[in-house]
Chains A and B, each alone.
Chain A
Amino acid sequence: MSRYSAWNLARNALSDHQHWDPVWRLPEPKASYDVVIVGAGGHGLATAYFLASQHGIRNVAVLEKGYIGGGNSGRNTQVVRSNYFYPESSSFYDRSVQLYERLSQELNFNLMVSQRGVLTLAHSRHDLEANRRWFNSIKLNGVDSKLTSRSEIAKLAPCLNLDAHYPILGGFFQPRGGISRHDAIVWALARGADSLGVDIIQGCEVSGIDIKDGQVQGVRTTKGTIATKKLALVAAGHSSVLAKMSGFRLPITSMPLQAMVTEPIKPILNTVIMSGAVHAYASQSDRGEIVIGGGADMHHSYAQRGSVYTYRINIRAILELFPWFSRLKVMRHWAGIVDISPDTTAILGKTPVQGIYINCGWGTGGYKAIPAGGETLAYTIAHDEPHPLVTGFNLERFYTGALIDEGAAAGVAH
């Protein structure tokens, strides 16, 4: 693998960029691996990368039924933040923000992390009080946050319509939050993991999981049977399907979540705007597109498409906040299948089957969790016990009642 540098860029320019090395190999699966990871999205690739880089476990395969990053990792809305309510969540997500801050260097790949801040809006007296409570909790958790007045918001985001149908009365701001190039993390981790010897096997769908005496033995795939004693299921919306093959159930509902981008325009929006009250958020990518997201379609689905009326509700909310966006054309619009857990906190750790580990339940907010999700799952696999940051994210909490109810605390757009 050739390193990306100004020198290499100049050298390859002389040969018209025709001789760059392939960024990753296209290997056929071996008969067995120390660890097999199902799902080559952000979380699966991050798990493989950290297994190799932090734990020296390099005999690893990542199986992907489609292509790298072709599922939800290619359908996210690029927001990175850690302004969560509960200590378990904010310490985990802040670790993820810290990793986003340094991974461009470590992976030698520009993730285009832009810490332009995330502004959460308040539209009523009750919103203001809820925001103050939320802000205080974040401060107690040691994460940067700042209450923001209406006049400060006018300066921070002049394109906002402060006198919207639900007027903007204030909000709070996380300066270290922001965006990063939406798919760069996937390519960077795939390249990093491959260079450390991880086999990324695309077009390889899992059709069965072999278990003997409560211990996983291997997986059956469209490219043959692969033996392994450690199997990680990292398949987001399809986690329940894999759990069923393993003989257990999950507290997960798969639903479509829509998002869209407009045509590119000159810079107008220099921060991320979120509103729980009107259920919408927007940011502007470095290419100039306005990236828009909102609520999920509220029914079970694996169809990767949503309903027009959910899309319309989202657009209507955004146009009330930014009336001038009404002139913009939507260029692309898509849906991904998200894995919603009952308390909207992820499930990460061991499962009822010995040797099977799970990472799912990120719901509508898995993108920002990619680096820390991978790092903690890699630790959990290597030590066969949960990483200290994710002990609360276990599956047993749905029996013991120790839920981490972030849905109520963190509002929209996880």
Chain B
Amino acid sequence: MFLIPCPHCGARDEQEFTFGGEGHIVRPDESVDDETWGQYLYFRDNPKGLHYERWCHSFGCGTWFNLARDTVTHEITRAYSILEPKPEPAQ
């Protein structure tokens, strides 16, 4: 169980949120080959460690936002707007 810092509402209980999977995935042009399209639809980094991911505060303000979270310790190092680019790993 972890507290998630919603950019709008502040730190709230995990169960108020819905997980939205890996963030910063860019939809390719529709003319790409099947392999590129399949990679876009289904293939994920699924890293052990730092992960950039989307969450939605479903049972709160409804905002979609991004988290930088460690998938081993569950430590959240950053919550940021869905419009911001992917942070550099150095952060």
A residues neighboring B (CB under 8 Å) = 238, 240-241, 244, 249-254, 298-303, 307-309, 342, 398-401
Verify A298–B42 contact, CB threshold 8 A. Answer: no
What range describes how many residues of B lie at the interface? 20 to 34
Write the nearest CB–CB distance from B60 to chain A, whole angstroms. 15
Verify A300–B1 contact, CB threshold 8 A. Answer: no
Verify A251–B21 contact, CB threshold 8 A. Answer: no
Nearest-CB residue, chain A, relative to B1: A307
Verify A399–B46 contact, CB threshold 8 A. Answer: no
- A308 to B47, alpha carbons, bound, how many Å? 24
List, sorted by A's number, 14 A–B pairs whose CB atoms are closer than 8 Å.
A240-B46, A249-B43, A249-B44, A249-B46, A254-B46, A299-B19, A300-B71, A303-B71, A307-B1, A307-B2, A307-B15, A309-B1, A398-B43, A399-B37
- A308 to B35, alpha carbons, bound, how many Å? 39
Verify B35–A399 contact, CB threshold 8 A. Answer: yes
Q: With A249-B39, A298-B19, A300-B51 in contact, is A240–B45 under 8 Å at CB?
A: yes
In the complex, chain A residues whose CB is within 8 Å of the CB of B84: none
Verify A399–B1 contact, CB threshold 8 A. Answer: no
- A400 to B33, alpha carbons, bound, how many Å? 10
Verify B72–A300 contact, CB threshold 8 A. Answer: no
Verify A301–B74 contact, CB threshold 8 A. Answer: yes
Q: Is the interface of B mostly helix, strand, loop or mixed?
A: mixed
The winner among A241, A250, A302 for most chain B CB atoms within 10 A is A302
| Additional A-B contact list (19), CB under 8 Å, known A300-B46, A309-B1, A398-B43 | A240-B45, A240-B48, A244-B47, A249-B39, A249-B43, A249-B46, A250-B46, A252-B46, A254-B48, A298-B19, A302-B71, A303-B72, A307-B14, A307-B15, A342-B41, A399-B34, A399-B38, A400-B34, A400-B38
In the complex, chain A residues whose CB is within 8 Å of the CB of B35: 399
Verify A342–B48 contact, CB threshold 8 A. Answer: no
Q: B41 touches which one: A254, A298, A398 (CB < 8 A)?
A: A398
Verify B71–A253 contact, CB threshold 8 A. Answer: no
The winner among B1, B2, B37, B46 for most chain A CB atoms within 10 A is B46
- A254 to B14, alpha carbons, bound, how many Å? 18
Q: B44 touches which one: A241, A253, A298, A401 (CB < 8 A)?
A: A253
